[in-house]
Amino acid sequence: GEDVEQSLFLSVREGDSSVINCTYTDSSSTYLYWYKQEPGAGLQLLTYIFSNMDMKQDQRLTVLLNKKDKHLSLRIADTQTGDSAIYFCADGNDYKLSFGAGTTVTVRA
């Protein structure tokens, strides 16, 4: 929805790092999420961060949260062709999720 915004496209070379950015407006969000969607498939939870954390690392994924600026980012290290997908940022509050429009990541050789 309009409460969560993210850029629509990102092109990255294989082996480089990808950074996907997201801004949100709801200051009472409890959790913030990153989901991945491959073509024709459902949504796969990649990672999430609790709102009182600044950073979370999980293997190649690093999530940074700037709560003051309501800015969330997802960094994918050593991007591979299998990382090509749509990535959705979502904020969770009141037992509901609000999604951004999704960032289509294209990995080129």
Partner 1 sequence: DAGITQSPRHKVTETGTPVTLRCHQTENHRYMYWYRQDPGHGLRLIHYSYGVKDTDKGEVSDGYSVSRSKTEDFLLTLESATSSQTSVYFCAISHDGGYTFGSGTRLTVV
Q: Which residues bind partner 1 (CB under 8 A)?
A: 1, 4, 8, 30-31, 33, 35, 41-43, 45, 48, 88, 90, 92, 95-102
Minimum distance between the CB of residue 4 and partner 1, rounded to whole angstroms?
A: 8
Asked whether 88 and 97 are in contact (CB, 8 A), the reply is no
Smaller CB distance to partner 1: residue 6 or 15?
Answer: 6
Least distance in Å: CB of 69 to partner 1? 21
Shortest distance (Å) from residue 40 CB to partner 1:
9
